[in-house]
Amino acid sequence: MGFSALPPKATNESAIATIEAWSRRADVAIMHNSVPYKALLTGTSATTYVNTVDLPLANLYRGKGFPLVITVDATDGLNRGAEAPELVALKRSISAPAVQLVYRQYVQALVSLIRPQYLGLAAETNLIRDMAPATVYNAIVQMTNAAAADVRAIGGTLPALYVSLQADVAWGPPPAAYRGVETDFRDFPFNQLLAISSYPYFVFADPDQIPLDYYARLANGRAISVMVVEGGWTSASVGAVQSSAVKQARYLRRQERLLDSAKAVAVFQLSYTDLDVTQYPPQPPGSVLPLFAQLGLVDTELRAKTALATYDSVFARPLRK
């Protein structure tokens, strides 16, 4: 069980304080990295970038004894219908060979310099396929498969590879028919585990409505490890989403059962804290960031929310051998 360094305020000091706060409540860490397209396309080498930006955080985690998972996010994490904001600003696209090349170089540098135990080559591919132009999804398929071959050529102890799949998309909003993730297993044959993203409060009004095989069914009978690499349930009501601190705590108890049903090997919530959105860069009109701002188990001042005690009770369970 673990978290990322995502802080309540967009400062290094806030990130360090966040890590220190959750480190006693975790046994593994995750980095969810947007590809630094602007730096890589304007003269910074992938090796220099990883050594300067990513390696210090990885070393901090390793110094605490945490195995490391990294997800590389190749598109816009808050809008799967769009390309990465840096590429949009540069008027570039991942459909271009030069952009795919710097992505691959970044992946190679992460593996060579950090050697994570698990590496995601893209995030929420089924949601990208649903929302983005076909040229973007096709580019994701092309560049991740090429990157997987690059990684295998590095040699030594290599990470298990994956792309993350959105469980809520795979099931579809009730009463839609279950869709599954077979297209993703076909398009990304390098997948060595089933890596899941899930924010089911967008689909279900109550955590107890989530089917107990919500994660397990996605494997479709495959003998494959299951890992939840991002997700959560908001403690606040925002727009059409109606929630509360008590409902968030009940979700964690429900998720415990979903994880057991799938025999999951790990679960991550990217946000240990709530986010102070006023301290982050201004968002474009219609941004969904506020819908994710109250996912934390503590508030923006690191004060415990109701869900923290539930999390702690799950974390106290013996590790499955």
Mean pLDDT of the chain: 96
Report, as an integer, the average pLDDT of 109-132: 98
Q: Is 102's pLDDT higher than 90?
A: yes
For residue 130, what pLDDT band results from cuts at 50, 70 and 90? very high
Report, as an integer, the average pLDDT of 163-192: 95
pLDDT of residue 85: 95
**Structure tokens of 110?**
């992460």
What would the pLDDT profile of 204-216 be if each residue is shown by its tens digit?
Answer: 999 999 999 999 9
Q: What percent of the chain has pLDDT over 90?
A: 91
pLDDT of residue 253: 98
**What residue ranges do the domains of the chain occupy?**
2-315
Nearest to 217 by CA among 236, 194, 247: 194
pLDDT of residue 33: 98
**Cβ burial 158-172 (10 Å sphere, 16+ → b, else e):** bbbbbbbbbbbbbbe
Kind plus residue range of the DSSP H or E element containing 252 = helix 245-262
State whether CATH 3.20.20.80 applies to domain 2-315.
Answer: yes
Distance (Å, rounded) from C-alpha 299 to C-alpha 133? 37
3-state secondary structure of 4: coil
Q: Is 320's pLDDT higher than 80?
A: no
Q: Is 321's pLDDT higher than 70?
A: no
Contacts of 35 (CB under 8 A, 6+ apart): 72, 73, 74, 84, 102, 103, 106
Q: Are 111 and 320 in contact (CB under 8 A)?
A: no
Sheet with 225-231: list strands edge to edge.
160-162, 118-120, 68-73, 28-34, 2-3, 266-269, 225-231, 193-198, 164-166
